[in-house]
A and B are shown apart, each in its own frame.
Chain A
Amino acid sequence: MFRNKKTRYTMILSGPYLLWIIGGTLIPLIMMFYYGLTTADGGFTLSNVFAIAEAGHAKALGQALLYSAVSTVVCFVLAFPLAVILKNSKLGTKGFVVFVFILPMWMNFLLRTMAWQVLLEKGGVINGVLTWMGLPRMRLINTPGAIIMGMVYDFLPFMIMPLYNVMSKIDNNVVEAARDLGASGWQVIYKVLLPLSVPGIVSGVTMVFVPALTTFVISNMLGGGKIFLIGNVIEHEFTVGDNWHLGAGLSLVMMVFILISMAFIAKFDKNGEGNLL
């Protein structure tokens, strides 16, 4: 069957990975396409995909796009200055600072989100402190703000790491050259550091935006089931609604966004500089 020993050896070694790809990626993908493009009695249809245009679904998609876009921007606004500061600092503790920011990432995702629930609840920690200070209670949980807060907290490390990576690789001589040519501190940032860290920015934006777009756990836990994002709709169809066909069809739509993001990374991050994976 095999031409020689070497090919057989290669086949044996790659076997587990092939199984993994087939079982973990290929079969689920085929299943998704099958369910997404068929009706309950097995006939071909595109209606599950076009269902995204229905008012409720379109609204959920719109909100998901809005929330994930806002939290991506917030993550960037927090992470970029940090990366610049870490680049300019002469401290030997740079690695430690990054570690501190990344630390929450090692904790379970659900646990972290649950922690925010406890903090934001009506009788939660923050309101407790407000009451103690004699201030009126605030409605924190089950608001768009709570969801965005949760998204930022959960996904910030994915923005910091590629930005820090790409920024620390920029040659300090280049920064000094810009200063030498008359650029002020701000001009150095937007004329040199910002354009040179585009690969990292694209990586970071994608790694925050895509998971935020498809999340349903954060919106469930911090939105109290009142705010429906597209992730919640899909989850609902698979569990409560028991309509796998519609769920798969809507998931195919989400895949389009993921593919667009991947194309962006491929275009801007040719050298894999900002790549975390």
Chain B
Amino acid sequence: MSAPIIELEHITKSFDGQMILDDLNLTVHENEFITLLGPSGCGKTTTLRIIGGFEHPDQGRVLFEGKDITELPPNKRNLNTVFQRYALFSHLSIAENIAFGLKVSKKSKAYIDDKIKYALKLVNLDGFEHRTVDSLSGGQQQRIAIARAIVNEPKVLLLDEPLGALDLKLRQDMQYELIRLKNELGITFIYVTHDQEEALTMSDTVVVMNQGYIQQMGTPENIYNEPENAFVADFIGDSNIIGGIMLQDELVQILGVKFPCVDSGFGRNKPVDVVIRPEDVILGEPGAGRLDGEVSHLIFKGLLYEMEVMAGGFEWLVQSTKCFPVGTPVSISVDPYNIQIMNKPESEDEEAIGVQE
């Protein structure tokens, strides 16, 4: 991995006596697309604002390329922000909006004009120079906000839920746009969102946050396939989280039935949380699997059917391309490598969601 560009060291921040971030440590590398993901109030936006210089941490340091920038105001930092609600200057034309940062840093007119053209082309809005802010749609305004930020050639671009206000189709288009931009510009993106799909689609690294703590950090595949705790498993995609007992290495007991798995090192007879993704649950003829049950709900979701199966006293969420009508007796089985074993939460902070026993 390339060199670190931003390091947060022991960041603590509280508002009105309420702890938002508690001893947060995070390293962002050059040219990385890193996403801070979590529910509202988890501290992700505060983290971004501390990097941008809009909030001052109560404790801890912010390093930029190894230098301490904790005390630098936002205008002295070599990074730019794309705000959630665009925050364009309504008294300026589109060209003047994009030129704002360049004019402040006293660039030549020829340079500014070149940059405006280049930036508008980059965000696919050529010819919009003389339009007013009000005449643009939400998606277009967001592109201008991005153009306005990147003309300053920041080393790091901060994006605070930039697609939050757009409709679904536009959001999906913009996700591809952002990935393309990131690759063309070759700079670091720090992205904040509560949308797990957005995070998985675009990021090199996903940082899952909850209640001021980093719950897990890794590649999208890593986060999805090997959630470290029940919060991550539940927040990233749908999952069945079941209390179980690790009988011995590679053997777990769920709902009174033994399931072979691939995890080891938990010790003998240790209570654990077991995560099984709905698409990994295999339905078959009664008696053919490990548990027998009956389909209790069925929803057609386009790509696949989503079913709830009552088996062993637990309502399993199951996704399958095959349809099993409500009332069908079925059996449930899971491949060993699709069973993810997690330690029970040790602190209350991790226990953000109740795990069904």
Contact = CB atoms under 8 A, between A and B. Distances in A.
Interface of A: 171, 173-174, 176-184, 187, 191-192, 195-196, 198
B152 A181 contact: yes
Contacts of A182: 75, 101, 104-105, 152
Interface in B270-295: none
A178 B100 contact: yes
29 contacts: A173-B84, A173-B85, A174-B89, A176-B74, A176-B81, A177-B83, A177-B87, A177-B89, A177-B145, A179-B54, A179-B74, A180-B52, A180-B54, A180-B74, A180-B75, A180-B81, A181-B104, A181-B148, A181-B149, A181-B152, A182-B75, A182-B101, A182-B104, A182-B152, A191-B100, A191-B104, A195-B91, A196-B91, A198-B91
B198 to A, nearest CB: 21
Interface of B: 52-54, 73-75, 80-81, 83-85, 87-91, 100-101, 104-105, 145, 148-149, 152
Q: What secondary structure prevails in chain A residues at the interface with B? A: helix
Nearest to B158: A180
B87 A174 contact: yes
A108 B54 CA distance: 45
A185 to B, nearest CB: 8
B75 A179 contact: yes
B16 to A, nearest CB: 11
Nearest to A183: B104
A52 B149 CA distance: 57
Contacts of B90: 196
Given A177-B81, A177-B89, A184-B75, 6 more contacts: A171-B87, A173-B83, A180-B80, A181-B75, A182-B101, A187-B104
Interface centre among A174, A182, A187, A195 (most CB of B within 10 A): A182
Contacts of B52: 180
A188 to B, nearest CB: 9
Query: 7 closest Cβ contacts across the A-B interface?
Result: A181-B101, A173-B87, A177-B87, A179-B74, A182-B104, A195-B91, A180-B81
A198 B87 CA distance: 18
A192 B89 contact: yes
Contacts of B54: 176, 179-180
A181 B152 CA distance: 8
A171 B81 CA distance: 16
